[in-house]
Amino acid sequence: MVVNYTVKGESFVPDKPQVWFGKQLANIGLGMNFDLAPDGKRFVVLMPVESSEPREAQNHVMLVVNFFDEVRRRVAAQGK
């Protein structure tokens, strides 16, 4: 939801809340699914993948360990 507001003296006066965005943000559990830029002018949100695959197949994480070791190994193998 989003709401415009004004300040009258020392009072906060909100207008009527409105729907901000018609789609649901991604559900990532306890973590935040959005973040605001320090200047307050931009933000980023995580959206769910629109796919016909079951939800369990859509959510995955790839963890790359020792990335540069693997790059060196592959570059050395190509040089032979």
What is the residue-wise DSSP string for 41-54?
S-EEE------SS-
pLDDT digit string, tens, across residues 29-78: 888 888 888 988 888 888 877 777 666 665 666 677 888 888 888 888 88
CB atoms within 10 A of CB 40: 7
Residue 68's domain comprises 24-79
Residues 35 and 15: their CA atoms lie apart, in Å, by 24
Asked if residue 18 is part of any domain, the answer here is no
Alpha carbon separation from 38 to 1, 43, 44 (Å, rounded): 21, 9, 12
How many distinct structural domains can be found in the chain?
1
Instruction: Considering only residues 70 and 79, tell me which one the structure prediction assigns the higher pLDDT.
Output: 70
Question: pTM higher than 0.85 for the full model?
Answer: no
Task: Specify if 3 maps to a domain.
Answer: no
Query: Is residue 13 in a domain?
Result: no
Whole-angstrom Cα distance, residue 42 to residue 50?
24
